[in-house]
Amino acid sequence: MPEQDAIALSSAPVTEESILRDLRALGVQRGDTLIVHTAMSKLGWVCGREPAIVRALLRAVGPFGLLVVPTHSGDNSEPSHWQHPPVPENWFAPVRENMPAYDRRVTPSRGVGRIPECVRTYPGARRSAHPHVSWAAKGWMAAWVLRGHTWRKPCFGMASPLGRFYRRGAKTLLLGVGYDNCTSLHLAEALCPATARKTSGAAVREHGVRRWVSWEDIEFDSDRFPQIGLAYEQAGGVVTQGRIGHAECKLVPIRPLVDFGVQWLAEHPAEDAADATAPAADAAPAQAPAPQPSEALPTA
Interval 129-184: pLDDT, tens: 999 999 999 999 999 999 999 999 999 999 999 999 999 999 999 999 999 999 99
CA dist., res. 263 & res. 149, Å (int): 26
> In sequence order, what are the residues at sequence separation of 6 or more whose Cβ sits closer than 8 angstroms to the Cβ of residue 218?
154, 155, 156, 186, 189, 190, 195, 196, 197, 198
> In sequence order, what are the residues at sequence separation of 6 or more whose Cβ sits closer than 8 angstroms to the Cβ of residue 283?
none
Nearest Cα to 18, choosing from 178, 176, 252, 243?
A: 243
Element (H, E) at 215: strand 209-218
Nearest Cα to 13, choosing from 52, 46, 41?
A: 46
The pLDDT tens digits for 279-299 are: 443 333 333 444 433 333 333
pLDDT at 111: 87
> In sequence order, what are the residues at sequence separation of 6 or more whose Cβ sits closer than 8 angstroms to the Cβ of residue 299?
158, 166, 167
pLDDT at 140: 95
pLDDT at 83: 87
CA dist., res. 67 & res. 175, Å (int): 14
Per-residue confidence in pLDDT tens, the chain, 300 aa: 677 777 777 778 999 999 999 999 999 999 999 999 999 989 999 999 999 999 999 999 999 999 999 999 989 999 999 988 899 999 999 999 999 999 999 999 998 989 999 999 999 999 999 999 999 999 999 999 999 999 999 999 999 999 999 999 999 999 999 999 999 999 999 999 989 999 999 999 999 999 999 999 999 889 999 999 999 999 999 999 999 999 999 999 999 999 999 999 999 987 655 454 344 433 333 334 444 333 333 333
C-alpha dist (Å) from residue 267 to 58, 192, 234: 38, 10, 16
Question: Could you count the other beta carbons within 10 Å of the beta carbon of residue 101?
Answer: 18
DSSP-H helix ranges across 66-134: 92-98, 114-120
Residue type, 271: E
CA dist., res. 299 & res. 293, Å (int): 13
pLDDT at 289: 41
CA 135 to chain centre: 9
CB 185 within 8 A of CB 224: no
Q: What pTM was computed for the model?
A: 0.87
pLDDT at 283: 38
CA dist., res. 166 & res. 126, Å (int): 19
